[in-house]
Structure 1
Protein backbone atom coordinates (compact mmCIF):
# COMPACT_ATOMS: atom_id res chain seq x y z
CA UNK A 1 0.00 0.00 0.00
CA UNK A 2 1.23 3.51 -0.73
CA UNK A 3 -0.23 4.91 2.51
CA UNK A 4 2.48 4.81 5.17
CA UNK A 5 1.17 7.13 7.90
CA UNK A 6 -2.25 8.09 9.29
CA UNK A 7 -2.44 11.10 11.61
CA UNK A 8 -5.65 11.75 13.50
CA UNK A 9 -7.07 14.24 15.93
CA UNK A 10 -8.69 12.61 18.97
CA UNK A 11 -11.75 14.44 20.36
CA UNK A 12 -14.57 14.61 17.84
CA UNK A 13 -12.52 12.60 15.36
CA UNK A 14 -10.91 9.29 16.30
CA UNK A 15 -12.89 9.05 19.55
CA UNK A 16 -16.66 8.83 19.89
CA UNK A 17 -18.55 11.39 21.94
CA UNK A 18 -18.10 9.00 24.89
CA UNK A 19 -14.33 9.27 24.36
CA UNK A 20 -13.97 5.67 23.19
CA UNK A 21 -12.70 3.86 20.13
CA UNK A 22 -15.61 2.17 18.37
CA UNK A 23 -15.25 -1.53 17.48
CA UNK A 24 -15.17 -0.66 13.76
CA UNK A 25 -12.47 1.95 14.28
CA UNK A 26 -10.36 -0.53 16.25
CA UNK A 27 -10.78 -3.11 13.50
CA UNK A 28 -9.62 -0.73 10.77
CA UNK A 29 -6.74 0.68 12.82
CA UNK A 30 -5.56 -2.87 13.44
CA UNK A 31 -5.74 -3.54 9.70
CA UNK A 32 -3.61 -0.47 9.01
CA UNK A 33 -1.06 -1.50 11.63
CA UNK A 34 -0.86 -4.98 10.11
CA UNK A 35 0.21 -3.30 6.86
CA UNK A 36 3.00 -1.42 8.65
CA UNK A 37 1.27 1.95 8.66
CA UNK A 38 2.19 4.44 11.40
CA UNK A 39 -0.77 5.62 13.48
CA UNK A 40 -0.05 9.12 14.84
CA UNK A 41 -2.46 10.79 17.29
CA UNK A 42 -2.29 14.56 16.70
CA UNK A 43 -4.04 16.53 19.40
CA UNK A 44 -4.33 19.81 21.20
CA UNK A 45 -4.05 17.84 24.44
CA UNK A 46 -0.85 17.70 26.44
CA UNK A 47 0.98 14.37 26.43
CA UNK A 48 -0.13 13.42 29.93
CA UNK A 49 -3.77 14.19 29.05
CA UNK A 50 -3.88 11.64 26.22
CA UNK A 51 -5.84 8.50 27.20
CA UNK A 52 -3.59 5.57 28.02
CA UNK A 53 -5.47 3.39 25.53
CA UNK A 54 -4.32 5.74 22.77
CA UNK A 55 -0.71 6.14 23.91
CA UNK A 56 -0.33 2.37 24.25
CA UNK A 57 -2.24 1.40 21.11
CA UNK A 58 -0.28 -0.99 18.85
CA UNK A 59 1.19 0.96 15.95
CA UNK A 60 1.37 4.25 17.85
CA UNK A 61 5.06 5.13 17.96
CA UNK A 62 4.78 8.92 17.86
CA UNK A 63 2.28 11.40 19.28
CA UNK A 64 1.86 15.03 18.21
CA UNK A 65 0.71 17.10 21.19
CA UNK A 66 -0.11 20.70 22.19
CA UNK A 67 -1.36 21.53 18.68
CA UNK A 68 2.03 20.73 17.24
CA UNK A 69 4.08 22.15 20.07
CA UNK A 70 5.81 18.83 20.73
CA UNK A 71 6.27 15.30 19.42
CA UNK A 72 6.80 12.35 21.75
CA UNK A 73 8.31 8.96 21.05
CA UNK A 74 6.10 6.51 22.92
CA UNK A 75 8.74 3.80 22.77
CA UNK A 76 11.44 6.05 24.24
CA UNK A 77 9.02 7.83 26.59
CA UNK A 78 10.44 11.24 25.76
CA UNK A 79 10.17 14.22 23.45
CA UNK A 80 11.87 14.08 20.11
CA UNK A 81 10.76 17.54 18.95
CA UNK A 82 9.49 20.73 20.54
CA UNK A 83 8.65 24.28 19.55
CA UNK A 84 8.31 26.33 22.73
CA UNK A 85 6.81 29.77 23.06
CA UNK A 86 9.27 32.65 23.24
CA UNK A 87 9.66 34.52 26.52
CA UNK A 88 8.47 37.75 24.89
CA UNK A 89 5.32 35.99 23.70
CA UNK A 90 4.57 34.66 27.18
CA UNK A 91 5.00 38.07 28.76
CA UNK A 92 2.64 39.64 26.20
CA UNK A 93 0.08 36.87 26.84
CA UNK A 94 0.23 37.54 30.58
CA UNK A 95 -0.48 41.22 29.90
CA UNK A 96 -3.56 40.25 27.88
CA UNK A 97 -4.69 37.90 30.66
CA UNK A 98 -4.43 40.66 33.26
CA UNK A 99 -6.36 43.10 31.11
CA UNK A 100 -9.09 40.66 30.03
CA UNK A 101 -9.29 38.83 33.38
CA UNK A 102 -9.82 35.50 31.59
CA UNK A 103 -8.83 32.07 32.82
CA UNK A 104 -5.40 31.00 31.62
CA UNK A 105 -3.98 27.53 31.08
CA UNK A 106 -0.32 26.76 30.38
CA UNK A 107 1.47 23.55 29.42
CA UNK A 108 5.00 22.73 30.54
CA UNK A 109 6.75 19.55 29.39
CA UNK A 110 3.43 17.94 28.53
CA UNK A 111 1.75 18.81 31.85
CA UNK A 112 -1.19 21.29 31.88
CA UNK A 113 -1.59 23.86 34.67
CA UNK A 114 -4.61 26.09 35.26
CA UNK A 115 -6.02 28.55 37.72
CA UNK A 116 -7.18 27.02 40.97
CA UNK A 117 -10.79 28.29 40.83
CA UNK A 118 -11.18 26.98 37.27
CA UNK A 119 -9.95 23.50 38.15
CA UNK A 120 -12.24 23.42 41.18
CA UNK A 121 -15.42 24.26 39.22
CA UNK A 122 -14.91 24.24 35.43
CA UNK A 123 -18.63 24.37 34.62
CA UNK A 124 -18.72 27.96 35.85
CA UNK A 125 -16.46 28.68 32.88
CA UNK A 126 -18.68 27.07 30.21
CA UNK A 127 -17.14 23.61 30.37
CA UNK A 128 -19.40 20.71 29.43
CA UNK A 129 -20.06 17.92 31.93
CA UNK A 130 -17.42 15.75 30.28
CA UNK A 131 -15.10 18.73 29.94
CA UNK A 132 -15.38 19.45 33.64
CA UNK A 133 -14.38 15.89 34.54
CA UNK A 134 -11.50 16.03 32.07
CA UNK A 135 -10.22 19.35 33.42
CA UNK A 136 -10.36 18.17 37.04
CA UNK A 137 -8.53 14.96 36.13
CA UNK A 138 -5.76 16.51 34.05
CA UNK A 139 -5.05 20.09 35.17
CA UNK A 140 -2.71 20.89 38.02
CA UNK A 141 -4.15 23.84 39.99
CA UNK A 142 -2.08 27.00 40.46
CA UNK A 143 -3.03 29.89 42.75
CA UNK A 144 -1.35 32.65 40.76
CA UNK A 145 -1.21 31.58 37.10
CA UNK A 146 0.37 34.84 35.92
CA UNK A 147 3.26 34.54 38.36
CA UNK A 148 3.61 30.86 37.50
CA UNK A 149 3.69 31.57 33.76
CA UNK A 150 6.23 34.35 34.26
CA UNK A 151 8.47 32.07 36.32
CA UNK A 152 8.40 29.40 33.57
CA UNK A 153 8.30 31.80 30.61
CA UNK A 154 11.00 29.96 28.68
CA UNK A 155 9.47 26.51 29.18
CA UNK A 156 5.89 26.79 27.88
CA UNK A 157 4.60 24.48 25.15
CA UNK A 158 1.41 26.50 24.78
CA UNK A 159 -1.04 28.89 26.43
CA UNK A 160 -4.85 28.75 26.31
CA UNK A 161 -7.43 31.40 27.15
CA UNK A 162 -10.84 30.25 28.38
CA UNK A 163 -13.34 32.71 26.95
CA UNK A 164 -17.03 33.31 26.37
CA UNK A 165 -18.30 32.50 22.89
CA UNK A 166 -19.22 36.13 22.24
CA UNK A 167 -15.67 37.27 23.09
CA UNK A 168 -13.88 34.77 20.90
CA UNK A 169 -13.53 36.76 17.69
CA UNK A 170 -12.46 39.89 19.53
CA UNK A 171 -9.94 37.93 21.60
CA UNK A 172 -8.51 36.29 18.48
CA UNK A 173 -7.84 39.71 16.97
CA UNK A 174 -6.24 40.96 20.19
CA UNK A 175 -3.98 37.94 20.60
CA UNK A 176 -2.87 37.94 16.98
CA UNK A 177 -2.09 41.66 17.13
CA UNK A 178 -0.53 41.98 20.58
CA UNK A 179 1.51 38.80 21.02
CA UNK A 180 4.60 38.38 18.81
CA UNK A 181 5.69 35.20 17.04
CA UNK A 182 2.62 33.08 17.67
CA UNK A 183 -0.17 31.32 15.86
CA UNK A 184 -3.66 31.29 17.35
CA UNK A 185 -6.15 28.47 16.90
CA UNK A 186 -9.12 26.81 18.56
CA UNK A 187 -10.19 23.22 19.18
CA UNK A 188 -13.35 23.88 21.24
CA UNK A 189 -15.81 26.82 21.25
CA UNK A 190 -14.71 28.38 24.55
CA UNK A 191 -10.94 28.10 24.08
CA UNK A 192 -8.33 30.17 22.24
CA UNK A 193 -5.03 28.33 22.01
CA UNK A 194 -1.66 30.01 21.48
CA UNK A 195 1.49 28.30 20.26
CA UNK A 196 4.81 29.29 18.70
CA UNK A 197 4.52 30.60 15.15
CA UNK A 198 6.46 27.58 13.87
CA UNK A 199 4.24 25.07 15.66
CA UNK A 200 0.79 23.93 14.50
CA UNK A 201 -0.29 20.40 13.63
CA UNK A 202 0.48 20.84 9.93
CA UNK A 203 4.07 22.02 10.28
CA UNK A 204 4.83 19.46 12.95
CA UNK A 205 3.33 16.63 10.91
CA UNK A 206 5.58 17.67 8.01
CA UNK A 207 8.57 17.51 10.39
CA UNK A 208 7.61 13.98 11.42
CA UNK A 209 7.04 12.86 7.83
CA UNK A 210 10.52 14.10 6.93
CA UNK A 211 12.01 12.28 9.92
CA UNK A 212 10.33 9.04 8.84
CA UNK A 213 11.16 9.62 5.15
CA UNK A 214 7.48 9.56 4.17
CA UNK A 215 6.10 11.89 1.53
CA UNK A 216 2.90 13.92 1.85
CA UNK A 217 1.51 11.73 -0.97
CA UNK A 218 1.79 8.75 1.37
CA UNK A 219 0.03 10.29 4.35
CA UNK A 220 -3.55 10.64 5.63
CA UNK A 221 -4.91 13.01 8.24
CA UNK A 222 -8.27 13.35 9.99
CA UNK A 223 -9.68 16.23 12.05
CA UNK A 224 -12.82 18.11 13.02
CA UNK A 225 -11.79 21.58 14.24
CA UNK A 226 -10.05 24.74 13.11
CA UNK A 227 -6.81 23.62 14.76
CA UNK A 228 -6.75 20.62 12.39
CA UNK A 229 -6.93 22.60 9.14
CA UNK A 230 -3.17 23.00 8.65
CA UNK A 231 -2.73 19.25 9.09
CA UNK A 232 -5.53 18.30 6.68
CA UNK A 233 -4.19 20.59 3.98
CA UNK A 234 -0.57 19.44 4.34
CA UNK A 235 -1.10 15.87 3.05
CA UNK A 236 -2.75 14.28 0.02
CA UNK A 237 -5.47 12.47 1.95
CA UNK A 238 -6.71 15.16 4.35
CA UNK A 239 -10.21 14.43 5.64
CA UNK A 240 -12.53 16.57 7.72
CA UNK A 241 -15.12 14.82 9.83
CA UNK A 242 -18.80 15.22 8.96
CA UNK A 243 -19.25 16.75 12.41
CA UNK A 244 -16.37 19.18 11.85
CA UNK A 245 -16.53 22.95 11.94
CA UNK A 246 -17.57 24.73 8.79
CA UNK A 247 -14.06 26.12 8.33
CA UNK A 248 -12.56 22.66 8.68
CA UNK A 249 -14.95 21.03 6.20
CA UNK A 250 -14.46 23.78 3.63
CA UNK A 251 -10.66 23.68 3.85
CA UNK A 252 -10.12 19.91 3.76
CA UNK A 253 -9.61 18.09 0.44
CA UNK A 254 -12.16 15.47 1.53
CA UNK A 255 -15.00 15.04 4.03
CA UNK A 256 -15.81 11.72 5.67
CA UNK A 257 -18.61 10.63 8.02
CA UNK A 258 -18.98 11.77 11.64
CA UNK A 259 -17.04 10.51 14.63
CA UNK A 260 -20.22 8.76 15.84
CA UNK A 261 -20.54 6.91 12.53
CA UNK A 262 -16.97 5.60 12.18
CA UNK A 263 -15.83 8.43 9.94
CA UNK A 264 -12.13 7.70 10.42
CA UNK A 265 -12.59 3.99 9.72
CA UNK A 266 -14.63 4.71 6.58
CA UNK A 267 -12.05 7.20 5.33
CA UNK A 268 -9.17 4.80 5.87
CA UNK A 269 -10.92 1.97 4.05
CA UNK A 270 -11.92 4.21 1.14
CA UNK A 271 -8.53 5.72 0.56
CA UNK A 272 -6.46 2.64 1.27
CA UNK A 273 -8.33 0.87 -1.51
CA UNK A 274 -7.79 3.84 -3.84
CA UNK A 275 -4.11 4.03 -2.93
CA UNK A 276 -3.33 0.38 -3.61
Structure 2
Protein backbone atom coordinates (compact mmCIF):
# COMPACT_ATOMS: atom_id res chain seq x y z
CA UNK A 1 0.00 0.00 0.00
CA UNK A 2 1.44 3.37 -1.04
CA UNK A 3 2.06 6.03 1.57
CA UNK A 4 0.00 9.26 1.51
CA UNK A 5 1.55 12.15 -0.34
CA UNK A 6 3.11 14.78 1.90
CA UNK A 7 1.92 18.33 1.21
CA UNK A 8 3.50 21.37 2.84
CA UNK A 9 1.42 24.56 2.71
CA UNK A 10 2.87 27.86 3.93
CA UNK A 11 0.41 30.35 5.40
CA UNK A 12 -1.99 27.46 5.87
CA UNK A 13 -3.77 28.68 8.97
CA UNK A 14 -5.64 31.61 7.43
CA UNK A 15 -7.21 32.94 4.24
CA UNK A 16 -6.78 30.99 1.03
CA UNK A 17 -4.20 28.67 2.59
CA UNK A 18 -6.73 27.57 5.20
CA UNK A 19 -9.33 26.91 2.49
CA UNK A 20 -6.81 24.82 0.53
CA UNK A 21 -6.11 22.77 3.65
CA UNK A 22 -9.84 22.21 4.17
CA UNK A 23 -10.33 21.21 0.54
CA UNK A 24 -7.50 18.68 0.71
CA UNK A 25 -8.76 17.31 4.02
CA UNK A 26 -12.15 16.65 2.36
CA UNK A 27 -10.56 14.84 -0.58
CA UNK A 28 -11.20 11.14 -1.11
CA UNK A 29 -7.44 10.75 -1.27
CA UNK A 30 -5.46 10.45 1.95
CA UNK A 31 -2.78 13.10 2.46
CA UNK A 32 -0.22 13.96 5.08
CA UNK A 33 -0.71 17.73 5.26
CA UNK A 34 1.91 19.91 6.92
CA UNK A 35 0.18 23.13 7.88
CA UNK A 36 2.87 25.80 8.20
CA UNK A 37 2.50 29.27 9.68
CA UNK A 38 4.26 31.94 11.70
CA UNK A 39 2.33 31.31 14.93
CA UNK A 40 2.33 27.75 16.22
CA UNK A 41 -0.73 28.30 18.48
CA UNK A 42 -2.70 29.67 15.50
CA UNK A 43 -1.56 26.75 13.34
CA UNK A 44 -2.73 24.27 15.97
CA UNK A 45 -6.02 26.11 16.33
CA UNK A 46 -6.54 25.89 12.56
CA UNK A 47 -5.80 22.16 12.63
CA UNK A 48 -8.37 21.59 15.36
CA UNK A 49 -10.94 23.55 13.36
CA UNK A 50 -10.39 21.52 10.19
CA UNK A 51 -10.44 18.22 12.07
CA UNK A 52 -13.65 19.23 13.83
CA UNK A 53 -15.40 19.99 10.52
CA UNK A 54 -14.50 16.64 8.97
CA UNK A 55 -13.68 14.04 11.66
CA UNK A 56 -13.96 11.13 9.21
CA UNK A 57 -11.13 12.33 6.93
CA UNK A 58 -8.46 9.80 6.02
CA UNK A 59 -5.82 12.54 5.92
CA UNK A 60 -3.44 13.65 8.66
CA UNK A 61 -2.66 17.24 9.68
CA UNK A 62 0.61 18.28 11.31
CA UNK A 63 1.85 21.71 12.47
CA UNK A 64 5.05 23.44 11.39
CA UNK A 65 6.24 26.86 12.46
CA UNK A 66 7.93 28.96 9.79
CA UNK A 67 8.26 32.67 9.07
CA UNK A 68 9.44 33.03 5.48
CA UNK A 69 10.78 36.51 6.21
CA UNK A 70 13.63 35.02 8.24
CA UNK A 71 16.27 32.55 7.03
CA UNK A 72 16.79 31.00 10.47
CA UNK A 73 13.10 30.18 10.74
CA UNK A 74 13.12 28.54 7.31
CA UNK A 75 16.22 26.48 8.14
CA UNK A 76 14.72 25.34 11.44
CA UNK A 77 11.51 24.32 9.68
CA UNK A 78 13.49 22.42 7.06
CA UNK A 79 15.45 20.52 9.69
CA UNK A 80 12.24 19.54 11.46
CA UNK A 81 10.54 18.41 8.24
CA UNK A 82 13.63 16.49 7.16
CA UNK A 83 13.80 14.65 10.48
CA UNK A 84 10.08 13.86 10.64
CA UNK A 85 9.24 13.15 6.99
CA UNK A 86 12.38 12.79 4.87
CA UNK A 87 10.60 14.17 1.82
CA UNK A 88 7.92 16.57 0.61
CA UNK A 89 5.82 15.56 -2.40
CA UNK A 90 4.06 18.90 -2.91
CA UNK A 91 5.36 22.28 -1.78
CA UNK A 92 2.67 24.94 -1.97
CA UNK A 93 4.02 28.46 -1.47
CA UNK A 94 0.91 30.26 -0.30
CA UNK A 95 2.24 32.66 2.36
CA UNK A 96 2.05 36.27 1.25
CA UNK A 97 1.00 39.75 2.28
CA UNK A 98 -0.58 42.84 0.74
CA UNK A 99 0.96 45.77 2.59
CA UNK A 100 0.06 48.70 0.31
CA UNK A 101 -2.90 49.78 2.49
CA UNK A 102 -0.53 50.17 5.46
CA UNK A 103 1.54 52.71 3.55
CA UNK A 104 -1.60 54.52 2.38
CA UNK A 105 -2.70 54.76 6.03
CA UNK A 106 0.69 56.10 7.11
CA UNK A 107 1.52 53.00 9.16
CA UNK A 108 4.51 52.07 6.97
CA UNK A 109 6.93 54.21 5.00
CA UNK A 110 6.93 53.71 1.24
CA UNK A 111 10.42 52.16 1.08
CA UNK A 112 9.69 49.94 4.08
CA UNK A 113 6.44 48.77 2.54
CA UNK A 114 7.92 48.02 -0.89
CA UNK A 115 10.88 46.14 0.57
CA UNK A 116 8.65 44.14 2.89
CA UNK A 117 6.27 43.30 0.03
CA UNK A 118 9.07 41.77 -2.00
CA UNK A 119 10.67 40.13 1.03
CA UNK A 120 7.48 38.26 1.89
CA UNK A 121 5.91 37.57 -1.50
CA UNK A 122 9.01 36.93 -3.61
CA UNK A 123 12.34 36.74 -1.77
CA UNK A 124 11.02 34.76 1.19
CA UNK A 125 9.21 32.37 -1.12
CA UNK A 126 12.39 31.88 -3.17
CA UNK A 127 14.45 31.06 -0.06
CA UNK A 128 11.74 28.75 1.29
CA UNK A 129 11.68 26.88 -2.02
CA UNK A 130 15.45 26.55 -2.42
CA UNK A 131 15.89 25.45 1.21
CA UNK A 132 13.24 22.73 0.93
CA UNK A 133 14.34 21.59 -2.55
CA UNK A 134 16.28 18.51 -1.27
CA UNK A 135 13.05 17.22 0.31
CA UNK A 136 11.05 17.88 -2.85
CA UNK A 137 13.60 16.09 -5.03
CA UNK A 138 13.36 13.08 -2.70
CA UNK A 139 9.77 12.60 -3.93
CA UNK A 140 8.78 10.30 -6.79
CA UNK A 141 6.00 12.74 -7.79
CA UNK A 142 7.28 16.23 -6.96
CA UNK A 143 5.02 19.24 -7.47
CA UNK A 144 5.79 22.88 -6.78
CA UNK A 145 3.09 25.55 -6.66
CA UNK A 146 3.16 29.31 -6.14
CA UNK A 147 0.03 31.30 -5.32
CA UNK A 148 0.12 34.43 -7.45
CA UNK A 149 -2.35 37.24 -8.13
CA UNK A 150 -4.74 37.99 -10.95
CA UNK A 151 -3.37 41.54 -10.90
CA UNK A 152 0.20 40.45 -11.64
CA UNK A 153 0.26 40.12 -15.43
CA UNK A 154 1.00 43.01 -17.78
CA UNK A 155 -1.86 41.96 -20.03
CA UNK A 156 -4.19 42.09 -17.06
CA UNK A 157 -3.51 45.80 -16.53
CA UNK A 158 -5.68 46.51 -19.58
CA UNK A 159 -8.77 45.12 -17.84
CA UNK A 160 -10.53 48.27 -16.68
CA UNK A 161 -13.17 46.25 -14.84
CA UNK A 162 -10.61 45.76 -12.08
CA UNK A 163 -10.48 48.65 -9.58
CA UNK A 164 -6.67 48.50 -9.44
CA UNK A 165 -6.47 49.32 -13.16
CA UNK A 166 -8.71 52.39 -13.21
CA UNK A 167 -7.16 55.78 -13.80
CA UNK A 168 -7.21 58.05 -10.74
CA UNK A 169 -8.06 61.76 -11.08
CA UNK A 170 -5.31 64.20 -12.01
CA UNK A 171 -3.28 65.73 -9.20
CA UNK A 172 -1.08 64.64 -6.35
CA UNK A 173 -1.21 62.73 -4.07
CA UNK A 174 -3.30 60.04 -5.73
CA UNK A 175 -6.25 58.40 -4.05
CA UNK A 176 -8.28 55.25 -4.66
CA UNK A 177 -7.67 51.53 -4.44
CA UNK A 178 -4.14 50.65 -5.54
CA UNK A 179 -1.69 47.86 -4.68
CA UNK A 180 1.40 48.54 -6.85
CA UNK A 181 3.93 46.94 -4.49
CA UNK A 182 1.88 43.77 -4.04
CA UNK A 183 1.14 43.24 -7.71
CA UNK A 184 4.75 44.02 -8.70
CA UNK A 185 6.05 41.45 -6.21
CA UNK A 186 3.63 38.86 -7.59
CA UNK A 187 4.78 39.67 -11.13
CA UNK A 188 8.28 38.89 -9.89
CA UNK A 189 6.96 35.62 -8.48
CA UNK A 190 5.61 34.66 -11.91
CA UNK A 191 9.08 34.95 -13.42
CA UNK A 192 10.49 33.11 -10.41
CA UNK A 193 8.07 30.27 -11.17
CA UNK A 194 9.30 30.17 -14.76
CA UNK A 195 12.88 29.96 -13.55
CA UNK A 196 12.04 27.05 -11.24
CA UNK A 197 10.23 25.38 -14.13
CA UNK A 198 13.35 25.75 -16.25
CA UNK A 199 15.77 24.62 -13.54
CA UNK A 200 13.73 21.61 -12.45
CA UNK A 201 12.54 20.44 -15.86
CA UNK A 202 15.05 17.59 -16.09
CA UNK A 203 14.31 16.58 -12.49
CA UNK A 204 10.70 15.86 -13.39
CA UNK A 205 9.24 18.47 -11.03
CA UNK A 206 5.90 19.88 -12.18
CA UNK A 207 5.75 23.61 -11.47
CA UNK A 208 2.90 26.14 -11.67
CA UNK A 209 1.81 29.51 -10.44
CA UNK A 210 -1.87 29.51 -9.51
CA UNK A 211 -4.03 32.61 -9.81
CA UNK A 212 -7.01 32.00 -7.52
CA UNK A 213 -8.85 35.22 -8.34
CA UNK A 214 -9.86 38.17 -6.18
CA UNK A 215 -11.01 36.66 -2.89
CA UNK A 216 -12.79 37.82 0.25
CA UNK A 217 -9.92 37.05 2.60
CA UNK A 218 -8.13 39.16 5.19
CA UNK A 219 -5.50 40.12 2.61
CA UNK A 220 -5.02 43.86 2.22
CA UNK A 221 -8.14 45.84 3.10
CA UNK A 222 -9.83 42.88 4.85
CA UNK A 223 -12.66 40.43 4.21
CA UNK A 224 -15.59 42.84 4.32
CA UNK A 225 -13.92 45.51 2.21
CA UNK A 226 -12.80 42.95 -0.36
CA UNK A 227 -16.30 41.45 -0.49
CA UNK A 228 -17.78 44.90 -1.20
CA UNK A 229 -15.38 45.20 -4.14
CA UNK A 230 -16.74 41.97 -5.60
CA UNK A 231 -14.29 39.43 -4.16
CA UNK A 232 -15.16 35.75 -4.52
CA UNK A 233 -15.55 32.90 -2.05
CA UNK A 234 -12.11 31.64 -0.94
CA UNK A 235 -13.55 28.15 -0.39
CA UNK A 236 -14.21 27.86 -4.14
CA UNK A 237 -10.61 28.90 -4.84
CA UNK A 238 -9.34 26.36 -2.30
CA UNK A 239 -11.14 23.59 -4.17
CA UNK A 240 -9.64 24.84 -7.45
CA UNK A 241 -6.08 24.72 -6.09
CA UNK A 242 -6.75 21.14 -4.98
CA UNK A 243 -7.53 20.21 -8.60
CA UNK A 244 -4.07 21.47 -9.63
CA UNK A 245 -2.45 19.43 -6.86
CA UNK A 246 -4.40 16.34 -7.91
CA UNK A 247 -3.32 16.52 -11.54
CA UNK A 248 -6.18 18.13 -13.43
CA UNK A 249 -3.94 20.91 -14.83
CA UNK A 250 -0.88 18.83 -15.71
CA UNK A 251 -1.22 19.92 -19.35
CA UNK A 252 -0.49 23.48 -18.22
CA UNK A 253 2.72 22.83 -16.33
CA UNK A 254 5.10 25.80 -16.25
CA UNK A 255 2.28 28.31 -16.69
CA UNK A 256 0.17 30.65 -14.57
CA UNK A 257 -3.20 28.88 -14.34
CA UNK A 258 -6.61 30.09 -13.30
CA UNK A 259 -9.89 28.25 -12.93
CA UNK A 260 -11.07 28.95 -16.48
CA UNK A 261 -7.79 28.74 -18.37
CA UNK A 262 -4.25 30.07 -18.53
CA UNK A 263 -3.19 33.62 -17.69
CA UNK A 264 -1.63 35.47 -20.69
CA UNK A 265 2.14 35.14 -20.75
CA UNK A 266 2.96 38.85 -20.89
User: Which category of TM-score, normalised to the shorter sequence, fits these structures?
Assistant: 0.3 to 0.5
TM-score for the superposition, normalised by structure 2 = 0.40
Q: Structure 1-normalised TM-score?
A: 0.38
Higher strand share: 1
